[in-house]
Amino acid sequence: MSTEPPAGESTGLTRRTFVATTVAVGGVVAAGELTAGASAFAAAPATAEPVPSTRVSVTVNGRQLTVTVDNRTSLLDLLREHLGLTGSKKGCNAGACGACTVLVDGRRVNGCLTLAVRLESAEVTTIEGVANGDRLHPLQQAFIDRDAFQCGYCTPGQIMSGLGCLREGHTGSAEEIREWMSGNLCRCGCYVKIVRAVEQAARWK
């Protein structure tokens, strides 16, 4: 028996109805596929690789420590985030401002550019280790005497860099001090007083 409608009779399905029905059905199918894909993705087990870490023995401000750190950890983050020594400041985090300057084996380094895993058996001195108990280092006192700071954010790095200059013998003149302190920026513009503070500490030495 034929299911074709008799000639001349309408099926009731117009072109517009056909198009609308097709789009609606297609959308439902696509939505179902997207939902299934999202569920499968959410159920997939995490496959992230474990982050390599290393045990490092280091002396910080005279205290011997052994720490396990992510191989990507900077010296600055080791000091601030792991050891609670927040005197060293994070400024640009790109080695351009000097706010994170510390001494490693007596030499100035930018803490943000130095990997902690490279410090095996090294001796690190931060601003917290400069004073002798309640007695300030002559350079710290000179910064106070010369009013060589305003906001104070860069001051720890300035002092550590100044100590480096003193140890390296780069304090023969104001011009020499400015040259060897040029990696430390002061956004408050206290450069003249900073140089005078280093000069004062050099005379004391």
Q: How many CB atoms lie within 10 A of CB 30?
A: 10
103 contacts 109 by C-beta, under 8 angstroms: yes
At 24-33, the pLDDT tens digits run 545 544 445 5
Average pLDDT, integer, range 165-180: 97
Quote the pLDDT of residue 29. 45
- What distance in Å separates the CA atoms of residue 195 and residue 144, rounded to the nearest whole number? 13
pLDDT interval class at 51 (50, 70, 90): confident
- Domains of the chain in start order, with CATH, are 53-129 (3.10.20.30), 138-204 (1.10.150.120)
Quote the pLDDT of residue 118. 96
Quote the pLDDT of residue 28. 47
Q: Closest by alpha carbon to 93, among 114, 108, 67, 119?
A: 114
At 52-84, the pLDDT tens digits run 999 999 999 999 999 999 999 999 999 999 999
Q: HEC states along 5-60?
A: CCCCCCCCCCHHHHHHHHHHHHHHHHHHHHHHHHHHHHHCCCCCCCCCEEEEEEEE
Q: Which residue has the higher pLDDT, 166 or 49?
A: 166
